[in-house]
Amino acid sequence: MTIPIEHLRAAGLGSQVEALSTAVAEYLDEEKTLDRVDSNVAVVSDPFGGRAALLEYAAELLDEQARRVSLSSIVTDEGTLPAIPSDCALILEDCHYVYRRCVGGFDVLESFLERLAMTNTLVVTSWNRYSWQYLSAVKRIDEAFPLTITLPPLSADQIEAVVEAHVDELPAFVDTGEAGRIKTVDVDRYPVSLPGGRTVDVPVLRPDLAWLASWSATGDDESIEAVVYEKLRRLSHGNPGIATSLWDRSVREGSDGPTVAPAYIDDPVTDCSVLSDEAAFLLWAVVAMESVEREQLTAMLDQDAIGTEIQTLANRGVVHADGTEVALEPAGLHPAVAELERRRLLW
């Protein structure tokens, strides 16, 4: 799922776009009259959060003066890493594939960072945010990329701008008098320490603000639109790729044309709880990598009995699994993140 650069501009992320274009301009400046900021650039976002659009934009600006490589699976041999050219820039997508969270799993990453330190060539990279935070904590990779461009969560108004850029024509906004399938109460669990070094998770109820926003709709068109975009923001957590995915599945065709209502926008994933440590690590790997080959999951988990765990997550709509690959579903991201945070597995 790719968000075009025009959608990011429409959402008010022009400063991130301009930071990248400035770095490219400095590299292309033959006279080097511009103050050089940095030769290593990291573009960081959540899965589906728009980082691919920035790298596509960099490729357009650099044209033939860049080599572009997209990593699609975990790199286990540093010899397969692309060489950093001396006569042009390098655009390297999805660098979260250059490590594994296991013993010996950082060799390729360390080799890559050494190559970066030895070149002045412009290297534009993109990273999954959860991998980036983990690697910054344990390997300090952020120090190798002084220019880091992070795409933040969007507000409801920004989500509205993205949707309007995403569609040719908006549907009619209607009020069905219902909030839709969205929980009225969320249950948070907080660990409480017990004697003997043990902990227990205590459930704490809190009202679901998305439900409250929907419940308060008065029926005028402006209020209905505001509730639709607020529900999109809350369910997507401000992620533009997930928001447009939810929008596409929420618009309904009727006899009078397409319509959308607060009740049509719901959360397709209602349960992402996992019981075993193996299932939790599998979930972490899919969130941090976004797409992982089954063979590589088996190697990282050091056991073969993962088929049941994958099928359970697939049945809940968290992941999509085919014969060789397990990929994160857009709607599954934030339920998975909530479960991993509850287990303290995210940085």
Among 91, 123, 150, the domain-final residue is 150
What is the model's pLDDT at position 22?
92
Same domain, 128 and 19: yes
> 57 or 207, which is more confident?
57
Structure tokens at 25: 């301009």
Smallest CA-to-CA distance from 158 within 267, 44, 50 is with 50
Q: Does residue 251 lie within any of the structural domains?
A: yes
Kindly state whether residues 205 and 236 are assigned to the same domain: yes
Kindly tell me if the per-residue pLDDT of 243 is higher than 60.
yes
* CA 303 from centroid of its chain's CA atoms: 28
Number of domains in the chain: 3
Q: 194 and 173 in contact (C-beta within 8 Å)?
A: no
Query: DSSP character for 273?
Result: -
| Shared domain check, 60 and 9 | yes
Q: Flag whether 270 is in a domain.
A: no
Task: Clarify whether residues 28 and 141 are in a common domain.
Answer: yes
Classify 150 as helix, strand or coil.
Answer: strand
In 195-285, beta strands by DSSP E: 198-207, 252-254, 257-260
Task: Give me the residues paired with residue 319 across strands.
Answer: 328
One domain, residues 297 and 243 = no
CA 117 to chain centre: 27
Tell me the residue range of the domain where 289 lies.
277-342
Which residues 6+ apart lie within 8 Å of 269 measured at CB? 316, 317, 318, 329, 331, 332, 335
269 within some domain: no
* pLDDT of 334 over the 60 cut: yes
Q: Which of 127, 150, 173 lies at the terminal end of a domain, its last residue?
A: 150
pLDDT band, residue 187 (cuts 50/70/90): low
* 152 contacts 239 by C-beta, under 8 angstroms: no
Q: Look at residues 119, 62, 111 and name the one whose alpha carbon lies nearest to residue 85.
A: 119
pLDDT tens-place string over residues 90-147: 999 999 999 998 888 999 999 999 999 888 889 999 999 999 999 999 999 999 998 9
Confidence (pLDDT) at 120: 82
Average pLDDT for 68-77:
94
List beta partners, residue 125.
Answer: 42, 92
pLDDT at res. 182: 43
**Last residue within a domain, chosen from 213, 239, 264:** 264
- Which of 13-17, 36-40, 343-347 has the weakest average pLDDT? 36-40
| Kind and range of the H or E run holding 190 | strand 185-194
- The count of other CB atoms within 10 Å of the CB of residue 128 is 24
Task: Please provide the average confidence, as pLDDT, over all residues in the chain.
Answer: 86
Query: Do 144 and 162 fall within a single domain?
Result: no
Per-residue pLDDT, 275? 72
Residue 72's Cβ-count burial label (10 Å; 0-12, 13-18, 19+) is: exposed
Same domain as 311, residue 181:
no
CATH number at residue 15: 3.40.50.300
Q: Is residue 272 part of a domain?
A: no
Put the strands of the sheet holding 40-45 in their side by side order: 66-70, 89-93, 123-128, 40-45, 147-150
d(CA 164, CA 160): 6
- So what's the pLDDT on residue 37? 47
Residues 243 and 311 in one domain: no
Percent of the chain with pLDDT over 70: 82
